[in-house]
Amino acid sequence: MTLVIGSIQYASADHSLGGQGIFKSEDDVNLDFTKDSKWLIHLQLIVRDTQDQLVSVTEVTHGSYIPHEISDYIFDEYLGEKKIINIGKVSYEKAELVGTENVKGFPFKTSFEDIQAFWGLEYCIKTKEHGDEQGISCIPVFQTNTPHVFLDEDDTFTQHWTILREI
């Protein structure tokens, strides 16, 4: 389950850089956990039925990111206006992204009838080494896993992402 942001840009897949590139192999993105990094990720997921009645709310305060300059690029260019906040003695830039989708209209990677637990912010790039026939690959720049979320075909869900980058 993803929320696609941005447009298609050309990028070198650079998985030959010893773990420092976007891709770690032909089929896998190079990800690192946000623990002990400059990134903090929070996702609140709200599910409502056809009568707009609350079905569920789930939140997570951890996740993964691509340890590559593309993460900073997406944060700077596509996550809107930033605010400076302080948590303890640490200053962060804060970005928020909210998207509401109807289950029927969302391009699930598997059937919406399955239990959903993976959520990500994808960005589509064009590479020579990966992707579809045109070399387009949509990569989860920021992602997280929630407890299982059950969705009915008439439900709507709102993803409220808050991403912090240490200054």
* Strand boundaries in the chain, DSSP class E: 2-10, 32-33, 39-48, 54-60, 64-65, 83-87, 90-102, 116-126, 136-149, 156-166
Any idea what DSSP says for residue 88?
T
Q: CB-based contacts of 161: which residues, under 8 Å, 6+ apart?
A: 3, 41, 42, 43, 96, 97, 98, 121, 142
Identify the DSSP state of 29: B
pLDDT for 9 = 47
Q: In this predicted structure, what is the pLDDT of residue 109? A: 56
Mean pLDDT of 141-162: 89
Digit-coded pLDDT (tens) for 89-142: 999 999 999 999 888 776 665 555 555 778 888 888 766 655 556 667 778 889
Q: For residue 119, give the amino acid letter.
A: W
Task: Please tell me the distance from the alpha carbon of residue 5 to that of residue 74, in angstroms, as a whole number.
Answer: 8
pLDDT at residue 13 greater than cutoff 60: no
**In what helix (H) or strand (E) does residue 18 lie, and over which residues does it extend?**
none
CA distance 53 to 67: 39
**β-strand 136-149 against 64-65: which pairing, if any?**
antiparallel
Q: Is the pTM of this model over 0.85?
A: no
